[in-house]
Amino acid sequence: MSTLVVYFSYDGNTKFIAETVAETISANIMELKINKKYPAEGFQKYFWGGKSVIFGEKPKLINEPVDLNQYDTIIIGTPVWAGSFTPPVKSFISQFKIRGKRIALFASHGGGGAKKCFAKLKKELSGNEFIGEIDFVEPKKNAEENSSKAVSWAKSLTDS
């Protein structure tokens, strides 16, 4: 059974969890890279992120193509923006038309919106079997605790 961890990370929190999960279960990993740059700080960071979600933007992915047929499990990680998943994840889902896979979801956030984010992801990814979901509040701020949480969760996915 082969697994791919796909994620977008804005300021390293989601990347931290993605790398921990992938290493724990020896999964391949793919960071979504886009052709545009979001503002890095202050009000504009939140404004542009929220605007991108609200307007349903799908930025162009500049990753090397990946053959999802070689994976039966896909773990998708995203920051929570405006109660949803990020536009790069939307681009990935739109580009690959994922069906018939085992899917696990994780999100990082500063204090809310994960349940809505997961509901929206599940709607976009209908036609798949969902095997787990988990969220992390500011993962890098309490790295040791969140790393342990990610390891336990990753291991539980291989049991299902």
pLDDT at 35: 83
List, in order of start, the domains of the chain with CATH numbers: 3-159 (3.40.50.360)
Strand pairing report for 28-31 and 73-79: unpaired
**What region does 100 belong to: left with phi over 0, alpha with psi -120 to 50, or beta?**
left
Whether the CB-CB separation of 24 and 88 falls below 8 Å is answered with no
The count of other CB atoms within 10 Å of the CB of residue 140 is: 16
For 4-40, write each residue's pLDDT tens digit: 999 999 889 999 999 999 999 999 999 999 987 765 6
Average pLDDT over residues 98-119: 95
Q: Which helix (H) or strand (E) holds 91?
A: helix 87-96
Q: How many helices (H) and strands (E) does the chain have?
A: 5, 5
Using DSSP's 3-state secondary structure scheme, residue 27 falls into coil
8 Å CB contact between 16 and 139 = yes
pLDDT of residue 53: 72
pLDDT digits (tens, 9 = 90+) for 80-105: 988 999 999 999 999 998 999 999 99
